[in-house]
Chains A and B, each alone.
Chain A
């Protein structure tokens, strides 16, 4: 059950087999005789109600989703300053400018790097954690709630809290590492170190959340599989690797996809982590992300044209990565089918 709701694609496929919803079906072949008013009203009610119900969403989406996307494209092919407003049509000039800007590739790489650093370890730890929780624990609910705790802290607060630990010179973490002879690590200036610091913030907030999703998937695994494996003499770890992991693989892909959309837009953490006055992600953009570049172009350099071009390029990137994930998911799905 959880598996199906977890899987948007699967749900769409499920459409065909859903029982035909009768309630909303328009009356069959209309009788020739004029119908009483009541009946006609009921018919209109049945015909219009669905549209009425779905319209608020599409209205809001049209205003804040579809229109902006199209309008972003429109802005992106114009000179468009924050204060001066629309200028000349410039074709793809803004795209070329952004593409040629040395910071663009930097911000793209940073975004991907932070994303990988925050999704891969997160999935691994969350799966292990879910495996631990998938036991007959005493105080089950208490454990589950405890690991979800970080989820209530906003990214801004997380960045503040962790920022105070990741000081380059006087931070707690470097002091602690110093006592065991490591460091000091330049958290704000070394590119990889800064990515690790930011990814840590993301991981701290989301690992417990994802562990619960994995836990749900694990609990859907038929228990007799484990029993027969145990009869064959498979160890607990072996059971986990051979049974649990393959069974929850689609869920893993799902978690990665959903975190792609959020993860590639990361803004609050790196911005608050930044100590330079410009707050663009470090003096040399060591940890500047694409959304930060959108903000930089649009509101710090006051050029909405280039900001829009950057936003569209981010959109394309997200779509590409989501597509790769989707293909991956389909393949893994068919592999599972052959099993």
Chain B
């Protein structure tokens, strides 16, 4: 098989990569200039020296550190719990036989199609009754585990854990929970890592519900960013500095784990 790519292939790919990266540069570029320069339709091509000034203005305008803390907390808690509960349920669906299994699994698949946003009104009413709106609880609880997480782990575990291994462990007198701990968990690790990453990113970028539920002084990064943008001064240097800052954490995560993300997407259907 000779599928050696020529210049055309590399050229097209390079063009695409430039397109992918350009908005990052644009965001940083405007963020590095003064408001005055950024307000021009065509700003200079090279960054200016005002990024840190603008960053400190962002911190003055919105509670950015608090937002960052909230986002890290919410995203990592949701990602971790999705992995834990997803693995448990995924294992049960993949390997255990119990009454109603097929029906329940069908239920899981069907619920993947139910968008959470549709339940926004009752979610709001219930969270208000509980007195949770305004707290990060209201964001964490609805996404503790997703149908996607369950289904994803189930698909992986079907093949990843040999039945013989589970059987052997049971013969040795392992309780179910010990089987999960000693046999399933180690085998599930690669898929769990991917699920964790995607859940983290999906929670991090979520907007609609946090936007309704959270107050201005206790936001997530996305809510704070929205606040910045809806300000009275549409100050591009300020807003785009905010957009840049809000992207940096995920960018770091991407640099560290991009390889796994790529592998994850290619291995299974992952749609965040």
A and B in contact, CB less than 8 Å: yes
CA distance A149 to B155 in the complex (A): 27
Residues of B within 8 A of A294 (CB): 117, 120-121
Contact with A along B172-195 (1 / 0, CB 8 A): 010111011000000000000000
Q: Which of A100-154 contact B (CB under 8 A)?
A: 129, 132-137, 141, 143-154
B246 to chain A, nearest CB (A): 6
Chain B residues near A95: list those with CB within 8 A.
Answer: none
A51-70: which residues lie under 8 A (CB-CB) from chain B? 51-54, 56-58, 60-61, 63-69
- Among the stretches A190-198, A315-323, A330-338, the one at the interface with B is A315-323
- Asked if A15 lies at the interface with its beta carbon under 8 angstroms from chain B, I say yes
Report yes or no: A53 in contact with B147, Cβ–Cβ below 8 A: no
Type the 1/0 row for A262-273, where 1 means its CB is closer than 8 Å to any CB of B.
101101100010
Report the bound CA distance from A267 to B30 in whole Å.
Answer: 25
C-alpha gap A262/B268 in the complex (Å) = 18
Say yes or no: is A172 at the interface (Cβ < 8 Å to chain B): yes
When A157-B243, A318-B113 are in contact, do A145 and B259 touch as well, CB less than 8 Å?
A: yes
Q: Is B258 an interface residue (CB 8 A)?
A: yes
Give bound CA distance, A51 to B23, whole Å: 48
Q: Are B91 and A53 in contact (CB under 8 A)?
A: yes
Interface size class of B (residues with CB under 8 A): 35 or more
Query: Do the beta carbons of B119 and A64 come within 8 Å of each other?
Result: yes
| Chain A neighbourhood of B240, CB < 8 A | 160-161, 164
Interface flags, A259-296, vs B, CB<8A=1, else 0: 10110110110001000000100000000000100110
B97 touches A21 (CB 8 A): yes
Contact between A141 and B119, CB atoms less than 8 A apart: no
B247 close to A (CB within 8 Å)? yes
Determine whether A252 belongs to the interface, using a CB cutoff of 8 Å to chain B: no
- Please give, as numbers and ranges, the residues of chain B lying within 8 Å of A312 by CB-CB distance: 118
Q: Are B20 and A146 in contact (CB under 8 A)?
A: yes
CB-based contact B163/A21 at 8 Å: yes
Interface SS majority for chain A: helix
Q: Which of B126, B239, B258, B269 has the most CB of A within 10 A?
A: B269
Q: Is A339 an interface residue (CB 8 A)?
A: no
Q: Are A161 and B13 in contact (CB under 8 A)?
A: no
A329 contacts B by Cβ under 8 Å = no
Q: How far is the CB of B28 from chain A (nearest CB, A)?
A: 10
- Alpha-carbon distance A317/B17, docked complex (angstroms): 36
Does B56 interact with chain A (Cβ within 8 Å)? no
Q: What separation, in Å, do the CA atoms of A232 and B109 have in the docked complex?
A: 43
B106 pairs with A12, CB closer than 8 A: yes
Task: Count chain A residues whose beta carbon lies closer than 8 angstroms to a beta carbon of B.
Answer: 116
Known: A22-B167, A53-B88, A261-B115. A154 touches B247 (CB 8 A): yes
A174/B41 in contact, CB under 8 A: yes
B269 A6 Cβ-Cβ under 8 A: yes
CB closest chain-A residue, reference B19: A204
B61 within 8 A of A: no
- Given contacts A5-B155, A150-B20, A156-B226, is CB(A141)–CB(B113) below 8 Å? no
A53, B20: Cβ atoms closer than 8 Å? no
The DSSP consensus for interface residues of chain B is helix
A175 to B166, CA, bound (A): 65
Chain A minimum-CB-distance residue to B208:
A267
Contact between A11 and B155, CB atoms less than 8 A apart: yes
B89 touches A53 (CB 8 A): yes
Pair A148/B95 contact, Cβ less than 8 Å: no
Select one of B27, B166, B265 contacting A23, CB under 8 A. B166
Find B40's partner among A11, A144, A170, A299 (CB 8 Å cutoff): A170
Nearest opposing residue in chain B for A135, CB measure: B5
Q: Are B88 and A54 touching (Cβ within 8 A)? A: yes
Assess A56 versus B247: contact at CB under 8 Å? Given A154-B205, A315-B115: no
The answer to whether B120 and A160 have CB atoms under 8 Å apart is no
Q: Is the CB of A213 within 8 A of B265?
A: yes
Indicate if the CB atoms of A145 and B262 lie closer than 8 Å: yes
Chain B residues whose CB sits within 8 angstroms of the CB of A258 once the complex forms: 269, 271
Cβ-based interface call for B37 (8 A): no
A160 adjacent to B96 (CB under 8 Å) = no
Residues in A neighbouring B88, C-beta threshold 8 A: 52-54, 56
Given contacts A12-B109, A69-B114, A71-B119, 13 further A-B contacts (CB under 8 A): A23-B163, A26-B97, A57-B85, A67-B119, A68-B120, A141-B262, A149-B20, A154-B205, A160-B243, A175-B41, A262-B271, A272-B229, A311-B120
| Pairs across A and B, CB under 8 Å, 15 listed | A15-B105, A21-B95, A23-B166, A56-B144, A58-B107, A71-B121, A132-B16, A136-B5, A146-B17, A154-B250, A174-B41, A226-B3, A262-B115, A265-B208, A279-B230
Chain B residues near A (Cβ < 8 Å): 1, 3-5, 9-10, 12-13, 16-17, 19-21, 23-24, 26-27, 30, 39-42, 85-86, 88-89, 91-98, 101-102, 104-109, 111-126, 141-145, 147, 149-151, 155-156, 158, 163, 166-167, 169-170, 173, 175-177, 179-180, 201, 204-205, 207-208, 212, 221-222, 225-226, 229-230, 236, 239-240, 242-243, 246-247, 250-251, 253-254, 258-259, 261-262, 265-269, 271-272
The 7 closest A-B CB pairs, nearest first, are A68-B119, A24-B96, A49-B176, A154-B205, A71-B122, A53-B88, A216-B266
